[in-house]
Structure 1
Amino acid sequence: MDWQNLPGGGNVLDRRGGGGLPGGGLAVGGIGGLILTLVLMFLGIDPGTVLGGGPTQGEQTGPQGTTTPGQQDEDYQFIDRIARSNNDVWSSVFQQAGRTYTPPKTVLYSGTTQSGCGTANSAVGPFYCPLDNGVYIDTSFFQTMDRRLGGGGDLAYSYVIAHEIGHHVQNELGIADQVERKQRSAQARGNEAEANSYSVRLELQADCFAGVWASRTRQQTNLTEQDLRQAVNTAAAIGDDNLQKQGQGYVVPDSFTHGSSQQRVNWFMRGFKSADPNQCDSFTPAYNQL
């Protein structure tokens, strides 16, 4: 994937080295901690307050070593260009529909940072906060992808970023608010399985939106079959069924919040093959059949 072909200017704020947990990587240990992290990983809610982790003084070390705010290393350049590319795609989509797209900010941090949704730390992975329209990324998470989540690769990393920006698109369209109301209604009726199903549909749509972005930039970035396999491997690795098998040894479909491995792969590929966000309506069809 030739991401260097993409222009910069992705509205990126670099907070790395600004104070937080010493070192990089996950702040919770063992497979149980990994599962909890991954369950939270793509939620557009407040992950920082779930796992806690207030600021701690210490040296900040990212994947490329010690960084300072504003230092435009390769991690910065990569995320800046991928974010700009996503925003360009969605600006065009919104314009064609007669709407205005407001790009999110993308915040890079190391260890811990403050978001509009609370304190975020390196344990939670990338997430979107709808309260401040921010995508938050601790770049050490890419090392976790390399080691545990189906391997890395530029398109796999890009898929994670595009998925979070997909949540911003949902927020811009009012989809996230509608889903939240339906979830609250289901929970009030004591139907957790139904409430979870809305979370699954929201996540699968964000996967589909990520596929739309990848498809619309495939020529500019010279995507190869190997790139696509890397993204698909990551989508499969973060399926609820795969995570539950790793964490507890068995699968409970009614507790899914993000979708099975096959669902996540299918919806990403649905967006990639169609390049059409109108094909990403995961709320109307039977999502488990796609």
Structure 2
Amino acid sequence: MGGGGKAGIGGVGLLLVLAVGYFTGIDVRPLLDGELAGSSAPRELTEAEEQAGAFTSRVLATTEDVWGQIFPAQVGRPYDPPVLVLFSGVTQSPCGGASGATGPFYCPADEKAYLDTQFFATLSQQLGASGDFAAAYVIAHEVAHHVQNELGILGQVNQRRQQVGEVEANGLTVRLELQADCLSGVWARSVEGLLEPGDIEEAVNAAHMIGDDHLQSRAGRVPQPHTFTHGTSEQRARWFTTGYETGDINNCDTFRARTL
């Protein structure tokens, strides 16, 4: 399924992937490329990949429900949900190529969020952010970028980033990412009835583990704030918490915040 091997998907796995795509709106074509090309080395999805697909579909459904309610109430218009591309190995998008090493991302050109099936294992085993809700937070964060796109924020920021220098562009990106963290918190508050004890702590821990300062330190580097593109661990956790505690997207305006 992608990567250099071009392995296909066995019968059971193929039916699963098609079912996930049909019932959830997830774009599974990258997973089917090897199968449609008539690969000579078919294989079924691993148990971990099956679980990732099923889990992702459930989280995506909650984001559609939540933003489908919030947009009419707080924005005054309907919400148009994104498509989630679940891939394994490598994939292509209008925003460029991606692999498991690049991490999840949102492409405004096709209004799709891209997520590698192995990312959940990376998040837990390599980044130290374990738990279902840590993974759910990451999915909600990518959907939040689509929310920003729907609100017109993403296009404005991207245009501005092209007009300024690298340091200022990085600063704008940090505000964009922290706003997405806050919007993820708004989503988390709206699914509070589904949460288990410790879920919010898992999300906050995940935010800490993927802060720019923590990741740079973990890589053996002295943190360089001018190179940050997502915000510090403290900032990411705090903005997520702000969204969770208030449930109001108006409190997620990081671009008017004097301090982050």
* TM-score bracket for this pair, using the shorter chain length: 0.7 to 0.9
Pairing 1:61-210 to 2, within 5 Å after superposition: 64=47, 73-96=50-73, 97-187=75-165, 192-210=166-184
Pairing 1:14-33 to 2, within 5 Å after superposition: 14-15=28-29, 17-19=31-33
Is there any run of 5+ residues in structure 1 with no aligned partner, and where?
1-7, 21-56, 68-72
TM normalised by structure 2 equals 0.83
Q: How much has 1:80 moved relative to structure 2?
A: 1.0
TM normalised by structure 1 equals 0.74
Secondary structure of the 2:219 match is helix
Higher mean Cα deviation, 141-150 or 199-208?
141-150
Q: How much has 1:84 moved relative to structure 2?
A: 1.3
Distance 1:62 1:257, change over 3 A: farther
| Counterpart contact for 2:140–2:187, Cα < 8 Å | yes
Taking the aligned partners of 1:127 and 1:11, their CA distance within structure 2 comes to 17
Secondary structure of the 2:192 match is coil
Taking the aligned partners of 2:43 and 2:107, their CA distance within structure 1 comes to 23
Q: Which amino acid aligns with 1:64?
A: E
Taking the aligned partners of 2:159 and 2:214, their CA distance within structure 1 comes to 29
Q: Deviations over 1:159-218 (max 9, x none)?
A: 00000000001111110111122222222xxxx322211000000000001111011101
1:13 is aligned, of 19, 27, 37, to 27
| Counterpart contact for 2:129–2:209, Cα < 8 Å | no
Taking the aligned partners of 1:279 and 1:142, their CA distance within structure 2 comes to 29
Distance 1:95 1:273, change over 3 A: same
Identity, in percent, stands at 44
Alignment pair present for 1:229 and 2:201: yes
Secondary structure of the 2:27 match is strand
| Counterpart contact for 1:210–1:271, Cα < 8 Å | yes
Q: How much has 1:78 moved relative to structure 2?
A: 1.3
Distance 1:146 1:16, change over 3 A: farther
| Counterpart contact for 1:19–1:112, Cα < 8 Å | no
| Counterpart contact for 2:31–2:86, Cα < 8 Å | no
Distance 1:268 1:59, change over 3 A: farther
Q: Which amino acid aligns with 1:99?
A: R
Q: How much has 1:17 moved relative to structure 2?
A: 4.3
Higher mean Cα deviation, 104-113 or 199-208?
104-113
Greater helix fraction, Structure 1 or Structure 2 = 2
Taking the aligned partners of 2:161 and 2:41, their CA distance within structure 1 comes to 40
Taking the aligned partners of 1:183 and 1:80, their CA distance within structure 2 comes to 33
Taking the aligned partners of 1:281 and 1:222, their CA distance within structure 2 comes to 26
Secondary structure of the 1:230 match is helix
Distance 1:195 1:143, change over 3 A: same
Taking the aligned partners of 1:202 and 1:62, their CA distance within structure 2 comes to 35
| Counterpart contact for 1:62–1:140, Cα < 8 Å | no
Taking the aligned partners of 1:120 and 1:167, their CA distance within structure 2 comes to 17
Higher relative contact order (CA 8 A, sep 6+): 1
2:224 is aligned, of 216, 238, 252, to 252
Q: How much has 1:62 moved relative to structure 2?
A: 6.0
Taking the aligned partners of 2:123 and 2:236, their CA distance within structure 1 comes to 16
Q: Which amino acid aligns with 2:163?
A: S
